[in-house]
Amino acid sequence: MAKIGIVGGTGYTGVELMRLLVLHPDVEVQMITSRGEAGTAVAEMFPNLRGHTDLVFTEPDVKQLAACDMVFFATPNGVAMQMVPELLEQGARVVDLAADFRLRDAVVWQEWYGKPHACPELLEEAVYGLPELHRDKIRSARLVANPGCYPTAVQLGFFPLLRNQLVDTGRLIADAKSGVSGAGRGAQVGTLLCEASESFKAYGASGHRHLPEIRQGLGQVAGTEVGLTFVPHLVPMIRGIEATLYASLQGEFSELQAIYEKIYADEPFVDVLPAGSLPETRTVRGTNLCRLALHSQPGSDQVIVVSVIDNLVKGAAGQAVQNMNLMLGLEEQRGLNQLALLPA
């Protein structure tokens, strides 16, 4: 049994990670940390875990964490980079679910996150944890940067088009919507029930932190910088992301279905739906799946890709477990074969 440590387990991503790991047949969570909740039983804070764990939140201790085979960081941005160098030095392997190691350029990271990076020397080593694109590198990595939720949905949707040079890379549009859990568990006026319910709004339209991450990933696939307009929206549901993607097609739309099906044929967590389908977030709720569908409109050169994921699973904790499985030499689907709950 692989020994697992979790740093910062009191948020929605943390409890989702615990939900998946306590049921995983090949790992055992040894410790879960929280400075603010040290001494509190995990199952007291998250009753859904009652009967599955006796762990109590503890203060972070690098030596104890380094004794684990794998350490997950489910912390706010800027926390992992303070501890990761020492953990790596002591032989631990790390999956960071925050943004500390997603961007390769420390200057760009500081521009978007408002502080200098604590260990810029690790940015080049960190492997971007989108398994469908970087599976082999993930297997041997010491440090994996788990992708953001929006970037996962957007990159998986655009990937086949860019890989096959089928679209104008200077004119990509990602119109994405997320459930309120994407904003985290901390109390904020904008995510209160009376504020978010029965409403729909865009945010980050002048520039969202996931924009440089998406541009970086798409640019690596395209082999050139891409022109991307990305606008996220908040919708009054708990979990789920729907991304409607637009690009100017330079090939034949009639060929795209076969291209997508071929590229993702052996991917256990990407489901290309039949032509004309419209994916729904409820069909991936609680699963590690990304579901995709292709559309076009008469008289238009625009291809429309619809991509849906659960922001807390494929967009966060599930993908982290997928990366863990690869890093530990386990079957990639191990512990991740949940079916979506319907109705939801």
* Residue 210 and residue 230 in contact, taking contact as beta carbons nearer than 8 Å: yes
- DSSP type of residue 147: P
- Rounded to whole angstroms, the maximal C-alpha distance in the chain is 63
Contacts of 47 (CB under 8 A, 6+ apart): none
- The two tokens of residue 9 are 């387990």
Residue 343: asked if its preceding bond is cis (omega within 30°), the reply is: yes
Q: Which uninterrupted H or E stretch holds 82?
A: helix 80-89
**How far, in Å, CA of 94 to CA of 286, rounded?**
24
Residue in this structure with the two tokens 């100017």, named with its chain if needed: 248
- The two tokens of residue 55 are 């762990």
* Residue 4 and residue 32 in contact, taking contact as beta carbons nearer than 8 Å: no
Which residues belong to the active site? 149
Alpha helices by DSSP H, listed for 140-269, are: 149-163, 193-196, 210-222, 256-263
Residue 174's SS3 state is: strand
Dihedral sign, Cα of residue 156, residue 162, residue 167, residue 168: positive
Residue 202's SS3 state is: strand
